[in-house]
């Protein structure tokens, strides 16, 4: 099915992908230009002054391209007034028209702004959720229909020097594409390439490409496959616009965006990013800038000898969990485990365990736990003077463990591994740096019969590619011991930066099926105990958030909420908060919250239930892709959504 699996210069070293340069006004994209940060307005496009003022706030926050929705001809025409007013006020940032369904609006916008985004899934085709089998000749007729609608637009873009983004979305693939290629990364890529091929036939190359999904796993696979297909078909290496659609808000939105976007940036892919948060658009810029910062500082670790080493050792276009032995509750079919580092906390008390999900109940003399309670606690040389919760297991340094064998499992360093044979019969942890992996260690690990889990970490800046190199060595040598990905971060980082860095470093490994557990920590914790426990609470929440975003362990409700735009028919931030308040105890459930029908059933393709604006004060409720109730008054819609979940037997009362 795939000619080869190559999609980046190297799996184990960083080098940015070389692309052609695309001119977008006075802010060129791709080639040797910095990775650009952009966002989208949320105002009504017909509100000229409101849109201009919001655009200025975005520009001041660092936005390099301002995208504005143009759902019909009248909004497309008003883009000229918005552009004129911005120029009058001294702002020359390129404007991008966002088009769905309306080629005639795209043709107007192409004469007025620097770039037009079109969605290949709905530019000509319509989505009716029909199953249609096309013969090859019938399919070619559909391609000709696209040419007839698309070429007039291309000619206008050529005349006016307007760039195009061909932006495929996982949730809005046409019935035609889904029936032939599937509702998957291949379908997304083929949807865009149909338009790219027409562009190249017309000698039009001012193109940017995107492959967006609310599922970071799908999104990462689609971009990789796109780059692979462009090279294999000898098409131009176009710049990439990266984004995770409907990432949500708060911690979850930042983790999901960083995990998807950061994974691709680490592979050298990506020339502009948009972080889609259900917040004010100017709040997206600091997150985007933190994501691209290190790649704009001549960050490179590339070695020509490392190009595409071990590319056949894993499949970059589809999820395959690394084959491992089952040791205790690690590896094989077990979900990844969360290990929390408590080694720096002194004078440990029962109440301290609340920081990672456990609460002691003195009236019943029992422990309670929440859905994000850590599986293991690393104590270092600490000892626990009380009975631990049943579901929690302790890890101690080897020499301390020797005196407390019945209460914990040992953690060994390399020297202890080679020089001691007193081990746990159930579970042992071996902590390793990337530099420890020499021929001697690999030989011993291949022959290892004792129950070991490897905890791997690195001090290098390129953490993801370095640890992927370690993991690929294990795969190539058929070493099937489970691995825990461990990273320590500077205590001076603010929480948002910590979320972004950790999600980027670990995300790609988890998305590719590498990792049977994670262990995050800070290099040191606050000297005030309550503040250090708050830091550990944040690290624990981040750990579970990363696993959820990578789709490897679901522990909480997931909200697929769009970032709002001029098409939105209700207050997305307020509505998302209201739905979250009523449903955030429904572990593993995915709820889509969409501002309009454009970002409705398609964009929330991954959701179990959907809440979609369909008119002024009206909501349509979905179960999966199926409409369950139309035109529900917004004041009743949340209750009706809950009733829908209850009717399905998926509601749980809050305990």
pLDDT in tens, 356-391: 999 999 988 899 999 899 999 999 999 999 999 988
Residue 132 has pLDDT above 50, yes or no: yes
How far apart, in whole angstroms, are the C-alpha atoms of residue 424 and residue 405?
Answer: 8
Q: Provide the pairing of β-strand 36-40 with 65-69.
A: parallel
The residues, ordered by sequence, that sit 6+ positions from 418 with a Cβ below 8 Å of its Cβ are 444
Three-state secondary structure of 308-347: CCCHHHCCCCCCCCCCCCCECCECCCCCCEEEEECCCCCC
**12-21, 77-86, 559-568, range with the lowest pLDDT:** 559-568
In DSSP terms, 618 is beta-bridged to 615, 633
Residue 192, pLDDT > 70, answer yes
**What number is the average pLDDT over the span 512-531?**
96
Of residues 312, 277, 222, 220, the one with CA closest to residue 551: 220
pLDDT in tens, 427-475: 999 999 999 999 999 999 999 999 999 999 999 989 999 999 999 999 9
SS3 130: coil
pLDDT (average), residues 90-104: 95
On the CB side of 513, CA atoms within 13 Å amount to 17
pLDDT band at 310 (very low <50, low <70, confident <90, very high): very low
Task: Report yes or no: 539 and 556 within 8 Å, Cβ to Cβ.
Answer: no
483, β-bridge pairs: 454
Give the pTM. 0.90
- Domains, the chain, ordered by start: 36-310 (3.20.20.20), 337-549 (3.20.20), 558-647 (3.30.413.10)
Kindly give the pairing relationship between strand 207-212 and strand 618-623: unpaired
């Amino acid at each position: 099915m795939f000619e080869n699996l190559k999609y980046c210069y190297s799996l184990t070293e960083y080098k940015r992908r070389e692309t052609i340069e695309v001119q977008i006004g006075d802010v060129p994209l791709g080639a040797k230009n910095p990775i650009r940060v952009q966002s989208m307005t949320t105002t009504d496009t017909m509100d000229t002054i409101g849109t201009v003022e919001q655009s200025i706030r975005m520009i001041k926050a660092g936005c390099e391209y301002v995208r504005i929705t143009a759902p019909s001809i009248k909004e497309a025409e008003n883009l000229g007034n918005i552009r004129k007013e911005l120029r009058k006020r001294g702002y020359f940032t390129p404007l991008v028209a966002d088009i769905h369904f309306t080629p005639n609006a795209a043709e107007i916008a192409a004469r007025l702004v620097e770039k037009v985004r079109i969605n290949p899934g709905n530019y000509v085709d319509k989505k009716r959720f029909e199953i249609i089998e096309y013969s090859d000749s019938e399919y070619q007729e559909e391609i000709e229909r696209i040419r007839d609608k698309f070429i007039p637009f291309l000619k206008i873009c050529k005349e006016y020097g307007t760039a195009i983004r061909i932006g495929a979305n996982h949730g809005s693939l046409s019935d035609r594409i889904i029936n032939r290629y599937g509702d998957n990364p291949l379908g997304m890529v083929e949807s865009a390439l149909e338009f790219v091929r027409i562009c190249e036939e017309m000698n039009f190359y001012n193109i940017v490409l995107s492959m967006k999904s609310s599922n970071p796993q799908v999104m990462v696979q689609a971009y990789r496959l796109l780059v692979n297909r462009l090279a294999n078909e000898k098409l131009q290496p176009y710049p990439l616009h990266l984004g995770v659609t409907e990432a949500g808000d708060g911690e979850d939105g930042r983790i999901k965006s960083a995990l998807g976007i950061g994974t691709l940036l680490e592979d050298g892919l990506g020339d502009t990013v948009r972080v889609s948060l259900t917040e004010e658009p100017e709040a997206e810029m600091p997150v985007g800038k933190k994501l691209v910062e290190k790649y704009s500082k001549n960050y490179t670790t590339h070695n020509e000898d490392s190009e595409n080493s071990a590319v056949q050792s894993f499949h970059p276009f589809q999820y395959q969990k690394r084959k491992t032995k089952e040791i205790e509750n690690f590896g094989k079919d077990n979900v990844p485990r969360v290990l929390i580092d408590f080694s720096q906390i002194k004078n440990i008390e029962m109440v301290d365990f609340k920081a990672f999900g456990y609460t002691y109940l003195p009236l019943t003399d029992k422990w309670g736990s929440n859905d994000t309670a850590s599986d293991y606690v690393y104590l270092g040389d600490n000892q626990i003077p009380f009975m631990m919760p049943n579901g929690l297991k302790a890890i101690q340094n080897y020499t301390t463990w020797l005196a407390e064998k019945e209460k914990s499992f040992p953690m060994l360093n390399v020297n202890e591994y080679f020089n001691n044979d007193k081990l746990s019969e159930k579970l042992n942890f071996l902590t390793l740096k990337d530099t420890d992996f020499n021929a001697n260690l690999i030989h011993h690990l291949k022959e290892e019969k004792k129950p070991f889990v490897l905890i791997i970490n690195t001090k290098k800046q390129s953490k993801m590619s370095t640890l992927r190199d370690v993991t690929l060595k294990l795969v190539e040598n058929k070493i099937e011991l489970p691995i825990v990905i461990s990273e320590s971060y500077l205590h001076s980082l603010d929480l948002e930066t910590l979320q972004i860095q950790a999600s980027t470093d670990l995300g790609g490994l988890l998305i590719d099926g590498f990792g049977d557990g994670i262990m995050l920590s800070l290099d040191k914790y606050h000297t005030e105990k309550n503040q250090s426990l708050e830091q550990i609470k944040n690290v624990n929440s981040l750990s579970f958030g990363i696993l959820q975003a990578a789709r490897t362990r679901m522990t909480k409700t997931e909200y697929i909420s769009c970032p709002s735009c001029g098409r939105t028919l209700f207050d997305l931030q307020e509505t998302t908060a209201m739905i979250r308040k009523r449903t955030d105890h429904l572990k593993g459930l995915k709820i889509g919250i969409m501002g309009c029908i454009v970002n409705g059933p398609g964009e929330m393709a991954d959701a179990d239930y959907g809440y979609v604006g369909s008119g002024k004060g009206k909501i349509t409720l979905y179960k999966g892709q199926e409409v369950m109730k139309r035109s529900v008054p917004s004041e009743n819609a949340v209750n009706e959504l809950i009733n829908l979940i209850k009717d399905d037997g998926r509601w749980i009362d809050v305990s």
